[in-house]
Amino acid sequence: AVYELTANGIAVDFHLSGAMSNRMVAEGATPAAPVTLIVDDMYTLMPYENSLLVLEMNGPQIKEVLERSYRNWWWYNQGYPWGGYSHYTTCMLATDEGNVITYTGDLATEPDGNNVASLTLEGAAVDFTDETTYYNVSTVNYVAAGSCNFNDDGVTIWPLDQIVADTQFYVRDSVIDYVTAMGTISPVVEGRLVFPAP
């Protein structure tokens, strides 16, 4: 996402989004037995017409969506009825390369709205109490609209009045552009999400 936006001259500080893909495309893949995907596979892997947008957000606004992300993950792991929230996806946000979201809490304790310890961007922490410093945060329109449990009574928790770029760049096409530019991609676990030890 950040690659596509930057390539098109759109300033972005970091990305927040979940996996918007069909995991069945590479079912059974392991580090010892990887699966090779080609461009044509992207239409099956990412069948959704989600597009990228950029919002200007301050520390408290960023913390709010990250706390909701943690709550989504927590309830996803609880079993039926999952707190009454949608369960077709975890609705857990991750960030882009070089950044880390650190959570507190455990699966035995219901989220209390204070489970996000930090978000660091290239090692520098975002101040969740600072209402005056703004970041250009990219995400997908589906999540920003409040889908995937990012709403209160049908109203999105994302500040849609602070959109600075509604690009209509489809996520799938952005991934294709990135892979085409980079060549072969060999994913690794980078530790972008940190949870306390059980």
* Helix ranges (DSSP H) in 30-149: 42-45, 59-76, 141-144
**CA 142 – CA 49 distance, rounded (Å):** 9
Give a yes or no: residue 29 inside a domain. Answer: no
Q: What CATH number is attached to the domain comprising 87?
A: 3.90.780.10
Give a yes or no: residue 96 inside a domain. Answer: yes
Number of domains in the chain: 1
Residue 173: Cβ within 10 Å count: 16
What's the pLDDT score for residue 32? 86
> Which of 193, 195, 171 has the alpha carbon at shortest distance from 97?
193
What's the pLDDT score for residue 162? 98
Show the domain range for 45. Answer: 2-22+38-194
Give a yes or no: residue 32 inside a domain. Answer: no
> Which of 39, 64, 43, 65 has the alpha carbon at shortest distance from 139?
65
Give a yes or no: residue 70 inside a domain. Answer: yes
Give a yes or no: residue 27 inside a domain. Answer: no
Give a yes or no: residue 47 inside a domain. Answer: yes
What are the per-10-residue average pLDDT scores of the chain (198 residues)?
90 85 71 80 81 97 96 85 70 89 89 95 96 97 93 96 95 86 79 80
What's the pLDDT score for residue 23? 63
Grouping H, G, I as helix, E, B as strand and the rest as coil, residue 137 is: strand
Q: Are strands 163-170 and 51-58 parallel, antiparallel or unpaired?
A: antiparallel
pTM over 0.95: no
